[in-house]
Amino acid sequence: MRHRRPVLGVLAIVLSCSLLPAAVKKGIYVADDPEPTPEETLILEYINRARANPPAEGARIVPPGKKIAGVDVKMFRQEMDRIRPSPPLVFNLDLLKAARRHAYYQILNGQGHDETPGKKGFSGKDPAERARAVGYAYRGVAENVFVHGRSPWQAHCEFIVDRGPGGPGGMQPGRGHRRNVFSGDFREYGGSYLPHGAKASVTQVFCSRHGGRFVGGLAYVDKNGSGLYDIGEGVGGIQMTAGGKTAKTWKSGAYSLAIGGGKVPITAVYNDLKYTKTLPAGSDNVKFDFVIPRTADVKRVKAMLSVVKRYGDTKSKRRFRAIVSLILKTRNVVIDDATRDQITAVSAAVAAQLQKDRQVARDAIASENMKEARKTLTELRTTYSMTPAFNWFNDAVRCTWQRARYLGLVNYKKNLKPGGKPNPAYLAAAVKAFRKEVKSLKTEEWRNWLKDLAAEAEDLW
């Protein structure tokens, strides 16, 4: 049994009972609903995203230019870059109950991992006892606590940064909270977000037990198109079936199912939508999200399919343009499998041509003959006129001029007389022109390409 108990900036806080729900004014905390709330679900989403790619999460928490008082952010990013990915965690309602009980105890008695028998809200002396009290037969348990949470994101960041005295870089010795979040030893999780006044008491319980692995995740509608789960987007009551076992998503959209170690098909059913995926074999937990198509997106995609079908002639320019639009405007849209199959069926040939033509463009601009490259790219730009791909090819044409400028710099340096010094003003003018042109380009790929070209130019001398 392991019992790790890092503490985040322990500070006593005792609030008036008038700030707490009526159901918990006396004795041990009893939640109105045993299911995870949207806020609690969002924190687990943050955790699993971080576990999947620790360096990327470090960059989100501390983007370039951001500072955290008292913290060496460079050291933090370097430490995050060294953390290895770990499998996702899934909710366990018993652990959630234990977390909420301790979160409530801390609201009444102050932040810390230990509880004192006889005090209001007492639910167990330590994390291990509290896990046993809710019936969880653990073989490993760890706990993070933070009674001053201002939002799910802020609490998540505090645990991962692990700010505090005693350790290098203004972060706590051993980075215990961070280690708990990223530890591959745990499979199940219970995490509270218990409001008290303008703050929330956040307790995270990480556990594992003997047995198989789990599949967990979310069912949600990406209403704001962020590509991520947000509060208010979860859909409850969706049937999830895997390995012969069935569960329905909780109101927040989250779910958890125990599965075996072999390949396991999982099926999500919602109204007339049905989505099936085969989960890989292994011993690790697996994350499976069912992102439900937005009604407006489905209508828009079907309208675009109707336009394609209207132009029956496969050699028609209008049909070609309609298919290019269909490909580019639906690639990031969540739709049902049947509609996606229709898109693939009508667009396969054009999609292959578009991919080939883009590679031709990249190869042309990588050459040293910009006159020939410009001719090739201008022809391709004409082919894709009046389609969403036009801007991409138009940017490529514009970049041929910048590539020619760069090649001129290379030749200028190459042709200098022995001992001759290059004119720094010549280079500065070229780099300035590159950066100015970046702002005029409309597509991310070519903006990034030109930024890289400018960086290469600066290194010429």
CATH of the domain at 115: 3.40.33.10
Average pLDDT of span 360-372: 96
In a domain, residue 392? The reply is no
The domain boundary, picked from 249, 272, 292, lies at 292
In a domain, 77, yes or no: yes
The CA distance from 292 to 294, in Å, is: 6
Number of structural domains, the chain?
A: 2
Is the C-alpha dihedral spanning 176, 288, 134, 155 positive or negative?
A: positive
Least confident of 21-25, 178-182, 249-253: 21-25
Q: Is residue 412 part of a domain?
A: no
Please state, in angstroms and rounded to a whole number, the distance separating the CA atoms of residues 332 and 125.
50
Domain identity same for 14 and 103 = yes
288 and 192 in a single domain? The answer is no
**Domain match, 178 and 236 both:** no
> Most distant CA pair in the chain: distance in Å?
89
Nearest to 128 by CA among 117, 118, 146, 115: 115
- Global pTM value: 0.73
Q: Which tens digit of pLDDT belongs to each residue from 181-219?
A: 999 999 999 999 999 999 999 999 999 998 889 999 999
Q: Are residues 197 and 62 in the same domain?
A: yes
Residue 104 belongs to some domain of the structure: yes
Residues belonging to the chain: 461
Range of the domain at 124: 3-208
Pinpoint the alpha helices (H) of 31-126. 38-52, 54-61, 73-81, 93-109
248 and 204, same domain (yes or no): no
Based on the fold, state whether residues 172 and 51 are members of the same structural domain: yes
Strands 194-196 and 199-208: antiparallel
On whether both 167 and 280 belong to a single domain, the answer is no
SS3 assignment, position 375: helix
185 falls within a domain: yes
Over residues 230-268, the pLDDT tens digits come to 999 999 999 999 989 999 999 999 999 999 999 999 999
